[in-house]
């Protein structure tokens, strides 16, 4: 392994590898730099990463793992450094991150953003996921790989598994995402080993799930490093009936880098998360099926891990010090911005320094005493001993505070999460960062200590679970 300074990616060459590029384009553009220098990328996570998985593309794995990676796995790292991903770039916290008085944050938790009126943020409004009906909540789980071959950094086929949250009972055949052009639809695949990719969200109106990936056929080598003039980035919208629209591509955005996830209000427009060059990274916006370039609504941070919409507000998650320290959930502008110039405002109480490694998140309105959104569940993929798992944060007095971490029964942290009310309790479902990955649930009981994980499903051999969402309504 040839290591340059902390401001550049770790470059590794492997006797059996080609010159393909992978890790610069991963959560690891969080992690290709951050994992070597960030306490959030705890090396103890590496023990859960199978040698067949390219650690250079895993946000949770330390670059030193490369020495154990099988020669058959491409591990060459793109030496291009993402300005938004270098944990050493700027340790100074931007004064614009107010301790709790920033109006853009206030608007995200204003009483007008009552999640009880938002189908995307309160499961009790959705007959398909209402625990009060007595029926198990249905989860949609994004699986990468068909099990026939070990995962590599090549483009890999995707499937949506549909399972009951109580015992993992299958609810119909998996939905296969397109792997070839069909009319206006493009193929949508992701890297088999870039574990930052594959976030899955449900639309705010509850009617669709959406994900982002590459318009590449399975087997396209080092897909995350491909240029967008040959492999455009694409978003797929899937209805409750299984109808797929993958016609929306994103121009030059995220070229030679990761696109990681997407969010939508009602399936007619999308906001995406990823990383890349200035102006072509961060959060991009585009209408369904529109041609031309997207709008870079939020340019900084350039390295965004996930996005979602709750209570009419667009939120994102990052783990970066550039241009200011953001290690948690931020409000992206006000409402759901569609023009350039949105500002990322870290929710007060979340970390401005390295350590946490947050991924997907889910916001709820649980307290009658606090207007609007007041409870956040966040997946953190660090080792359990370092705080990995599902964290519960609550808002009081204008500040968000970490109250509990759900990780009993896990061997590593988590990257995907959803949550829903069940009377006074909240049920949490998560995708673990383990190998093999699992879908598990926890029950958050007021006043009680976090309990043991209940296993819903374990990813079959040669596959991996990435994101999950509540089932869309028919």
Residue 83 has a pLDDT of 35
pLDDT of residue 124: 36
pLDDT classification of 34: cutoffs 50, 70, 90 = very low
pLDDT of residue 474: 84
| Residues 277-320 pLDDT 10s | 999 999 999 999 998 999 999 999 999 999 999 999 999 999 99
How far is 176 from 189, CA to CA, in rounded Å? 11
Q: Report pLDDT for 47.
A: 34
Find the distance separating the first CA and the last CA of the chain, reported in whole Å. Answer: 51
pLDDT tens for residues 260-270? Answer: 999 999 999 99
State pLDDT tens for residues 158-195.
999 999 999 999 999 999 999 999 999 999 999 999 99
Long-range interactions of 89-95: CB distance < 8 A, separation 24+: 89/7, 89/320, 89/321, 89/322, 89/323, 90/321, 90/322, 90/323, 90/324, 90/325, 91/321, 91/325, 91/353, 92/324, 92/325, 93/324, 93/325, 93/352, 93/353, 94/323, 94/324, 94/325
Instruction: Quickly state the pLDDT bin for 350 (edges 50, 70, 90).
Output: very high
Give pLDDT tens digits for 115-138.
333 333 333 333 334 444 456 899
pLDDT tens for residues 426-446?
Answer: 999 999 999 999 999 999 999
Rounded distance between C-alpha atoms, residue 356 and residue 330, angstroms = 14
Q: Which band of pLDDT confidence, cut at 50, 70 and 90, is reported for residue 222?
A: very high
**pLDDT above 50: residue 76:** no
| Global model pTM greater than 0.85 | no
Residue 187 burial by CB count (10 A; 0-12/13-18/19+): exposed, middle or buried?
buried
pLDDT of 379 > 70? The answer is yes
pLDDT (0 to 100) of residue 99: 35
């Amino acid at each position: 392994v040839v290591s340059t300074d902390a401001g550049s990616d770790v470059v590794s060459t492997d006797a059996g590898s080609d010159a393909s590029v992978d890790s610069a384009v991963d959560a690891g553009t969080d992690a290709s730099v951050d994992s070597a220098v960030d306490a959030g990328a705890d090396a103890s996570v590496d023990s859960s990463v199978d040698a067949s998985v390219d650690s250079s593309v895993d946000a949770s794995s330390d670059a030193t793992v490369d020495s154990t990676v099988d020669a058959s796995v491409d591990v060459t790292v793109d030496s291009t450094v993402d300005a938004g991903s270098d944990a050493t770039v700027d340790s100074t916290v931007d004064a614009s991150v107010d301790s709790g008085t920033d109006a853009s944050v206030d608007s995200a938790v204003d009483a007008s953003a009552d999640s009880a009126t938002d189908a995307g943020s309160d499961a009790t409004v959705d007959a398909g996921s209402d625990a009060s009906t007595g029926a198990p909540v249905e989860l949609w789980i994004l699986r990468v790989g068909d099990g026939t071959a070990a995962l590599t950094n090549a483009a890999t086929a995707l499937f949506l598994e549909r399972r009951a949250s109580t015992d993992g009972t299958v609810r119909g055949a998996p939905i296969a995402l397109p792997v070839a052009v069909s009319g206006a639809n493009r193929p949508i695949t992701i890297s088999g080993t870039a574990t930052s990719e594959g976030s899955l969200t449900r639309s705010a109106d509850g009617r669709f799930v959406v994900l982002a990936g590459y318009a590449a056929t399975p087997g396209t080598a080092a897909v995350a490093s491909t240029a967008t003039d040959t492999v455009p980035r694409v978003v797929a919208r899937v209805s409750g009936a299984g109808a797929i629209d993958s016609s929306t591509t994103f121009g030059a955005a995220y070229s030679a880098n990761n696109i990681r996830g997407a969010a939508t209000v009602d399936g007619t427009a999308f906001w995406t998360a990823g990383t890349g060059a200035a102006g072509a990274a961060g959060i991009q916006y585009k209408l369904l099926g529109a041609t031309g370039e997207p709008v870079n609504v939020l340019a900084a941070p350039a390295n965004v891990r996930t996005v979602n919409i709750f209570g009419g507000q667009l939120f994102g998650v990052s783990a970066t010090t550039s241009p200011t320290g953001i290690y948690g959930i931020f409000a992206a502008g006000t409402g759901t911005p569609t023009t350039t110039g949105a500002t990322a405002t870290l929710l007060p109480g979340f970390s401005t320094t390295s350590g946490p490694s947050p991924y997907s998140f889910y916001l709820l309105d649980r307290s009658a005493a606090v207007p609007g959104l007041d409870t956040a569940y966040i997946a953190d993929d660090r080792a359990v001993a370092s705080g990995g798992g599902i964290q519960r944060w609550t808002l009081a007095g204008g500040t968000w505070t970490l109250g509990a971490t759900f990780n009993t029964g896990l061997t590593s942290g988590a990257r995907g999460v959803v949550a829903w009310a069940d009377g006074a309790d909240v049920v949490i479902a998560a995708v673990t960062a383990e190998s093999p990955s699992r879908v598990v649930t926890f029950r958050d009981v007021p006043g009680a200590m976090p309990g043991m994980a209940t296993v819903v499903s374990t990813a079959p051999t040669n596959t991996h679970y990435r994101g999950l969402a509540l089932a869309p309504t028919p």
